[in-house]
Chains A and B, each alone.
Chain A
Amino acid sequence: SAVISQKPSRDICQRGTSLTIQCQVDSQVTMMFWYRQQPGQSLTLIATANQGSEATYESGFVIDKFPISRPNLTFSTLTVSNMSPEDSSIYLCSCTGAGGKTGELFFGEGSRLTVL
C-alpha cells in the first residue's frame, strides 16, 4: 500500500492567482497521477506525473494551466495557474502501490480549492 499526504487540504484563493499543491508518498512508487473532482462530479484525470521528465497531460488539460513537477519517486506538485472560479474543485493526487500492481491506485485526501 501507499500513504499519500497532500498539502494544503483546503484553500480559498483569489481570481488570477496561482496555487501549488504538494503530494508526498510514504514510499517510492512507479506512477503518480493528478485528478480533478469538480463539485458533484466524478474524477477526471489531469495528467500523469513522470519522474524526471515532463508530465503527460490528458485531453483538455495543458501544461501552462496545470504545471506539474515530479523530482523523485515520492513527491509531486501540481500548480493551478491564473485561477478562475471554474477551477474550484478538489484536486487529488494518486499513485500506484510500491509493488506497482496494475490499477490499484491509492489516493490522497484531496485539496479543496475555492476560487473567489
Chain B
Amino acid sequence: AQSVTQPDIHITVSEGASLELRCNYSYGATPYLFWYVQSPGQGLQLLLKYFSGDTLVQGIKGFEAEFKRSQSSFNLRKPSVHWSDAAEYFCAVGAAGTASKLTFGTGTRLQVTL
C-alpha cells in the first residue's frame, strides 16, 4: 500500500526567506507525486505534479519540487516566500493506473511572518 509522510506539522518562515517542505513516500514502483495547497476556507489547489522524466518539476506560484528516488522524497521548495503563501500544504501519491485515487500526507501548515 502506498503512504506519504510529511514530517513537519508546522513551519514558520519570514517573508522573503526560502522554504522547503519535506515529503517522503512509500510505494513499490514509480509513483505519481503531487503537491496541493489549501488556503483557509478553500478547497485544494494543485501546485505541481511528477509523473516521469525530469526530476525537478516547476509549478504555479513559483514553487518547485524535486523527485529523489534514492531518498523516496519529493520536497517542495520556494526561493522567496510571500505572506500570501501561508496555507496548508499536502503531499500526495498515486499509483500508476489508479493515480486519480490519491493518498495524502497529513499536511504541513506554513506560517509566514512579516
Q: Could you list which residues of chain A lie within 8 angstroms of chain B, going by C-beta atoms?
A: 4, 31, 33, 41-45, 48, 92, 94, 96, 102-110
Contact = CB atoms under 8 A, between A and B. Distances in A.
Contact of B43 (A41, A42, A109): A109
B43 A103 contact: no
Interface of B: 32, 34, 36, 41-46, 49, 51, 90, 94, 99-107
Given A42-B105, A45-B101, A103-B99, A92 B34 contact: no
Contacts, number: 51
Contacts of A41: 106
- Most interface-central of B45, B100, B106 (chain A CB within 10 A): B100
A103 B100 contact: yes
B104 A103 contact: no
Contact of B107 (A33, A42, A48, A96): A42
B107 A103 contact: no
A42 B51 contact: no
Given A43-B44, A103-B34, A107-B44, 9 more contacts: A42-B104, A42-B105, A43-B90, A94-B44, A102-B94, A102-B100, A105-B100, A105-B102, A109-B41
B16 to A, nearest CB: 29
A42 B90 contact: yes
A110 B41 CA distance: 8
A42 B6 CA distance: 11
Nearest to A4: B43
Contacts of B106: 41-42
24 contacts: A4-B43, A31-B100, A33-B101, A41-B106, A42-B90, A42-B104, A42-B107, A43-B44, A43-B104, A44-B104, A94-B44, A96-B100, A102-B32, A102-B51, A102-B99, A103-B32, A103-B34, A103-B99, A104-B46, A105-B46, A105-B102, A106-B46, A107-B44, A110-B43
